[in-house]
Amino acid sequence: MGIQSVGIVGAGQMGNGIAHVFALAGYDVLLNDINAEGLSNALKLIEKNLDRQVSREKISQSDRDSALGRISTTLTLTDLGQCDLIIEAATEREEVKQKIFDSLLPHLKPETILTSNTSSISITRLASRTDRPEKFMGFHFMNPVPIMQLVELIRGIATDEATYKSLHEVVEKLGKTAASAEDFPAFIVNRILMPMINEAVYTLYEGVGNVRSIDESMKLGANHPMGPLELADFIGLDTCLAIMNVLHDGLADTKYRPCPLLTKYVEAGWLGRKTGRGFYDYRGETPVPTR
């Protein structure tokens, strides 16, 4: 299965990073989003991030120019149908992802591989509703994509060996490392990470420590590069809550119950950096704890 053209659904935080690394690795990229402003902002951010890599001598100016030349955009989802590989990187809601795959199916080549960048949703369930469950996999990149080295490869129950090998080769060509995960809720990284973040929110909720003391404790006491509440703001509190709900529903264990304070922040629209407020307030020159 030779893969040269890659279609990416969603030009947000994850989609633009995925487009960046694929274009830099020599793939032809077609980036799709539901609005023109989203696509324009994604291209500006990709250009900015490539320029940063040039300034740090990570890549050459010709690498940067070639990568930008390989990225095309479209507002029409079905234009992606002729790509060899499609990566869905839309919002972390199963009904949205399913609608995307339903729309794409009639326009796909027989050999096209379908993947989802989902951080928690069942790959087997998503695949079962398509016409090619054997050519469907979880392809989970870490944020920020150009920097983080890991890609989780998640096989559904029907995924065939040829599809797995093809995607493993793609990860190697991207210069990243693949970790194979079984199709259980939240896979490996978020199965471990999200309960830790949720526990940090419980620690705040119960008054054991404030925002700053919790984050400083984990940075200086456990050598974490970011505190768990700072990291939650970076990921997005709505995404954290969605993954905790998947864990709680999928594993039926009370230890995965989302903290009520996390739910409250999401209800308030305080979703972290992307909205200007979360566990920190980002509207001033420096972030200020909100509790």
Helix (H), strand (E) at residue 139: strand 136-141
Instruction: Judge contact between 241 and 258, C-beta under 8 A.
Output: yes
List phi, psi (to 5°) of 47: -60, -45
Catalytic residue chosen out of the listed positions 152, 166, 198, 230:
152
Catalytic residue chosen out of the listed positions 16, 122, 140, 198:
140
Tokens representing 174 are: 């991207």
Known catalytic membership, residue 190: yes
Q: Radius of gyration of the chain from Cα atoms?
A: 19
CA distance 118 to 109: 23
Dihedral sign, CA of 25, 28, 34, 35? positive
CA distance 9 to 255: 34
Catalytic residue chosen out of the listed positions 119, 120, 122, 198:
119
Catalytic residue chosen out of the listed positions 88, 190, 198, 230:
190
Known catalytic membership, residue 152: yes
- Angle between helix axes 237-251 and 189-205 (nearest 10 degrees) is 110
Active-site residues: which are they? 119, 140, 152, 190
